[in-house]
Amino acid sequence: MPRQTQTKRNAMPKKKNKLMNSIVFLFLELVILIVIGTQVFKILTKKSNVEIAAELEIPSWIDVQLIDEGNPSRSGALLEGINDIVVHYVGNPRTTAQQNRDFYNQEDSDVCSHFVVGIDGEIIMCVPLTEKSASSNDRNRDTISIEVCHPDITGEFTDASYESLIKLVNWLRSSFNLSTDHVIRHYEVTGKECPMYFVRNPEKWDQFKEDLKAAEEGKPISYKFSGEGSEEESDELSMDDADDFTADNVDYATDEYQNDDLVYAIDDYNNYNYDEYPVEAPDEVYY
């Protein structure tokens, strides 16, 4: 066989291999471009948490009672983002979620939270999830705030309020894709002893984080209300005891704790000392 013909035959497989390698390389480049393009598209079209909040359907287990527009408690200013969920306690034992919400709606009130969780587990929504609440400081711009009612001076939540708080927080976490690291106490924002029971008992706060994960996985939670600061203890609280109780929490201390026509002020938020404010008196005075 002529040497020239043999050389041509040997060159043909090399050309085929080179062509095949080029095709494979082009294919890989195309795949990479598609992946990159998809990620860029997702980034460019991804909705912010505030945009998600604007379209979010509020579950039926949340009682929506928005504070009146134009009220000092509701500025109407839009959130810049939703990065954290902040848990508070109302500070005044045995007041209801409805009483706290109605206090926010007073013309002289300039504080509020997005949600209030009651002693019996009821949840009231006070401010749209797209708007700032007036609950802490400059972090109002990128947080959702939750106030929780409690039955006694320890600030410990009841089983019902605790379970509702977990349900609410996990719904918010799921809606805005937030991990438990983004569930914080008011204490982390301003250093205020709020929620008091979970600041004084940090292991209980750690357990709350674990219970959030457990509930998310359909597992039982471990919290049980101890009732150590029971209703009886609250009933026996004297004026001196009340002063001692608020000594470390002067933000919401008031000059008087009992009046037939007044309920002492709701937990304040921005180092503001409330005077007592007339509201519809409950069946019994809380002090």
CB–CB of 157/171 below 8 Å?
A: no
| pLDDT per residue as tens, the chain (287 positions) | 555 555 555 556 666 677 677 777 777 777 777 777 666 655 555 689 999 999 999 999 999 999 999 888 999 999 999 999 999 999 899 999 999 999 999 988 999 999 999 999 999 999 999 999 999 899 999 999 999 999 999 999 999 999 999 999 999 999 999 999 999 999 999 999 999 999 999 999 999 999 999 999 999 998 999 887 654 544 443 333 333 322 233 333 332 222 233 233 444 333 333 333 333 333 332 22
* 3 state SS of 253: coil
Evaluated on CA atoms 29, 31, 36, 40, the torsion sign reads positive
Per-residue model confidence (pLDDT) at position 157:
98
Which residues make Cβ contacts (< 8 Å) with residue 73, sequence separation at least 6?
67, 104, 105, 106, 109, 110, 111, 112, 126, 134
CA dihedral 171, 110, 194, 88 (to 10 degrees): -10
Encoding tokens for residue 172? 């918010």
Per-residue model confidence (pLDDT) at position 275:
34
8-state DSSP, 267: -
Which residue's entry shows tokens 């519809």?
280
* 3 state SS of 217: coil
Per-residue model confidence (pLDDT) at position 34:
74
Q: How far apart are CA 148 and CA 267, in angstroms?
A: 11
The alpha carbon of residue 103 and the mean position of all alpha carbons in its chain are separated, in whole angstroms, by: 21
Q: How far apart are CA 84 and CA 87, in angstroms?
A: 10
Encoding tokens for residue 103? 């206090």
The alpha carbon of residue 217 and the mean position of all alpha carbons in its chain are separated, in whole angstroms, by: 19
Encoding tokens for residue 147? 């106030």
Per-residue model confidence (pLDDT) at position 13:
64
Work out the widest C-alpha separation in the chain, in whole angstroms.
119
Backbone angles phi, psi at 143, to 5 degrees: -135, 155
Q: How far apart are CA 258 and CA 56, in angstroms?
A: 42
Which class does domain 49-278 fall in? alpha beta
Domain boundaries, the chain: 1-35, 49-278
Distance in angstroms between the alpha carbons of the first and the last residue of the chain: 112
Q: How far apart are CA 10 and CA 57, in angstroms?
A: 70
Per-residue model confidence (pLDDT) at position 32:
79
* 3 state SS of 87: strand
CB–CB of 199/187 below 8 Å?
A: yes
